[in-house]
């Protein structure tokens, strides 16, 4: 009987998804199409990615596009994510400090391999919510 290897297989370059969450600077990588759906937001949304990799992205409504707590700014990779639908755009109208690159993390779906950078705005970082522990320095 052989022992199972704990080493991960390298991700083929043409299937690599790399997402960096700012300001934490936390980067996660996975193979496109293999991420298990964690039932927070749409499958392969930035919120779904965050939940799968234990990156804190507040989402008071559970990812159902009923609030703006998962509001993020997409800094890189816009071409590889879904377009905002009317429900998301209506909800974003209520978000603080909306910018041209604003999206709801629960609705912005990664549609192709590539590199993505999203920033959680300072005012939207509630690190002690839903029982989650404080993960960043309080002065950031």
Are the C-beta atoms of residues 128 and 31 closer than 8 Å to each other?
Answer: no
* Cβ count within 10 A of residue 74: 20
Answer with the residue of higher pLDDT: 47 or 8.
47
For domain 16-124, give the CATH number: 3.10.20.30
* Cβ count within 10 A of residue 126: 13
pLDDT band at 89 (very low <50, low <70, confident <90, very high): very high
Are the C-beta atoms of residues 67 and 91 closer than 8 Å to each other?
Answer: yes
20 token code pair = 């960096």
Answer with the residue of higher pLDDT: 133 or 89.
89
| Secondary structure (3-state) at 105 | coil
Q: 34-53, pLDDT tens digit by residue?
A: 999 878 899 999 999 999 99
Would you say the pTM of this structure is higher than 0.85? no
């Amino acid at each position: 009987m052989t022992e199972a290897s704990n080493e991960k297989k390298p991700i083929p370059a043409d299937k690599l998804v790399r997402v960096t969450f700012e300001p934490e600077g936390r980067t996660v990588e996975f193979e496109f199409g293999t991420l298990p759906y964690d039932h927070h937001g749409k499958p392969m949304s930035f919120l779904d990615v965050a939940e799968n990799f234990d990156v804190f992205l507040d989402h008071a409504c559970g990812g159902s596009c009923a609030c703006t707590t998962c509001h993020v700014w997409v800094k890189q990779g816009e071409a590889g994510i879904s377009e905002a639908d009317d429900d998301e755009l209506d909800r974003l109208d209520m978000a603080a400090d909306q910018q041209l690159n604003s999206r709801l993390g629960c609705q912005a779906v990664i549609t192709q391999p590539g590199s993505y950078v999203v920033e959680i705005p300072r005012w939207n970082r509630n690190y002690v919510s839903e029982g989650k522990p404080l993960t960043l320095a309080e002065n950031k």
